[in-house]
Amino acid sequence: MKIFGIDPGSDRTGYGCVETKGSRHHLVICGTLSAPRGATFPDKLNHIHAGLCALLARHRPDCVAIESVFHARNVRSALVLGQARGVALLAASEAGLPVFEYAPAEVKRAVVGYGRAEKAQVQQMIKLLLGLAAPPEPHDAADALAIAICHVHCATGIVAERAAAEKPSSTLKSWRDFRP
C-alpha cells in the first residue's frame, strides 16, 4: 500500500510517499513544493496544485493523508493555511484518491508517542522508522512523511492497540478476574 502524505503550507508544502508492507515502511519520495520568490499568492496556490497533481500522477498512491486544520493564534495565517490545504485537497480529489485527515497532535502521538513532540523528534523518528541515513530535510518533508506513517498506523490499528494496552481495563474488579 502506498500512502502520500501532505503537510500544507502557502510558502512551502511538504510531501512524502511511503510504501508499506505490514510493519515495514519504505520511503518512495519526499520533498517540498515552493513557489518562486516574489510570486503572488494565487500563483503560489497554482504552483502547489500543479506540483501535487504531477506527483500524485507519477507515484500513484492508494490514498492521501493530510494534516487537518488546527487552531492558530493568528487568524490571517489560519486562513492562508486553509487555502493551501484546500488546493491540496483539490489535487487529491482530482486524482480520485481517498483522503484521510489527521490533527498535528495525533500525528505526533502516532509517530513519536507524544502529542507535543518537537520537530526534531519527529524527524528523528521518521529516520528510524524508514531506516534512513539522515533525518529528512526540511521539516515540512518529515512532517508529510509522519502524516503518511500516522495513516498506516491508524489504518492497521497499531495506534488503537497501543491505546488499549495503555488504558487499564475497567472490567477487572480484582486481580482474580485477570485471565492471560
Q: Give the DSSP letter string of 126-162.
A: HHHHHT-SS--SSHHHHHHHHHHHHHHHHHHTHHHHH
Q: Which residues are catalytic?
A: 7, 67, 140
Give 168's DSSP letter. Answer: P
Are the C-beta atoms of 70 and 77 separated by less than 8 Å? Answer: no
Helices of type H across the chain: 41-59, 75-94, 104-111, 119-130, 139-156, 158-166
Q: Which residue type sits at 111?
A: V
Are the C-beta atoms of 116 and 108 separated by less than 8 Å? Answer: yes
Q: Give the span between the Cα atoms of 112 and 167, in whole angstroms.
A: 18
Q: Give the span between the Cα atoms of 46 and 33, in whole angstroms.
A: 11
